[in-house]
Amino acid sequence: MSYFDAVHWRESDLDRLAEYNFNLIRVFLDWQNRGFFDEAGNLTKSEELLALVRAANDRGIVVDVTITGYSEIPRDRAVQAAVRTLRNEPNMIFDLQNEHNLGGEAALSHSDIRQLYFIAKAENARAIIFTSNYAAWMRGNTLNPDVLTQEVKTGIDVVAPHFTRNSRWYSDTGNRAAQTKEHLRSINSNRPVYVQEDHRNGWRGGEFTKEQFLQAAQEAKANGAAGWVFHTDAGFSLIDREFFAELDATERQVIQELGSAISNSTAYNTPSD
């Protein structure tokens, strides 16, 4: 589940997510300008962050920490501070930069990502470190193998695509995940594929049904994705109201049924090679 505004997290939100069998939340540490950081990239709200991570762990929930988005804080300092602070927490994965290939001058090259990867690993060699990528190796349903290979060469432990948002995204998810998995196998680099930010209601006027969201998640699982995030805008601001109060009617239906739909869906069969 997307749960971006984690500075304003609530135990009641985590309780209900656990009740519905969600086992991962995705948060931004620099959401809405700086979030948990000061302007120099120092983690100034470390106790609040640790409280969130530990509360999630108590409920069987992994925390996907997106360290930086599009803010101008020093990324090397932010990465070092985040991984160091959370190095002893068992339920962590780290996204170095949201959609590193976007943002104009804020975009990060593969060389930049490789440098940040090693900064993170110096703080915790066991940490799962990656970066998310918007549509760079998969334009529509067409794979660009060279771009995916370059992404992997940064050293990242997981590939985290934000696939193209078109009108048929929900029925394309499986094909896109399968092509990504196949290319990774072909270069002997079968990293997990984490479908991190599929389409959502309200983005550029898009409105989708419960069945379409469930189909996307089921196709991701059936084609070998290691994870799939239900993306909504409900967590964009949690200052005034709890997460569940921000959901629309379709999103509430998806939340109630997604856990059982995934549990009962077809499992991926790993190829013999």
Q: What domains can be seen in the chain, in order of their start residue?
A: 6-263 (3.20.20.80)
What are the tokens at 56? 């999630």
- Look up residue 222 and give its DSSP letter: H
Give the pLDDT confidence score for residue 271 in this predicted structure: 75
Q: What is the pLDDT of residues 38-77, one digit of tens each?
A: 999 999 999 999 999 999 999 999 999 999 987 889 999 9
The predicted pLDDT at position 33 comes to 66
85 contact partners, CB below 8 Å, separation of at least 6 = 43, 46, 49, 50
Mean confidence (pLDDT) of the chain: 94
Average pLDDT over residues 84-101: 96
Q: What share of the chain is helix, strand, coil (3-state, %, to 5)?
A: 40, 15, 45
pLDDT value, residue 260: 92
Quote the tokens at residue 131. 């970066």
What percentage of residues in the chain have a pLDDT greater than 70?
A: 99
Residue 103 — φ and ψ, nearest 5°? 100, 15
pLDDT, position 139: 84
For 130-174, write each residue's pLDDT tens digit: 999 998 888 889 999 999 999 999 999 999 999 999 999 999 999
Alpha-carbon distance 194 to 132, whole Å?
9
Q: How many CB atoms lie within 10 A of CB 238?
A: 21
Banded model confidence at residue 96, pLDDT cuts 50, 70, 90: very high
d(CA 51, CA 264): 33
Both structure tokens of 130: 């990656």
* Residue 265 pLDDT level (bands cut at 50, 70, 90): confident
Nearest to 183 by CA among 146, 158, 157, 220: 146
Q: How far apart are CA 62 and CA 90, in angstroms?
A: 8
Please report the pLDDT score of residue 252 as a whole number: 97
- Sheet with 129-130: list strands edge to edge: 24-28, 62-68, 92-97, 129-130
Pair 61, 25: CB distance under 8 Å: yes
pLDDT given at position 272: 60
Residues constituting the chain: 273
Could you tell me which of 114, 105, 92 has the C-alpha nearest to residue 29?
92
Token pair 């990867």 is found at 117
Average confidence (pLDDT) over 175-192 = 95
For residues 258 and 15, give the distance between their C-alpha atoms in angstroms, rounded to a whole number: 16
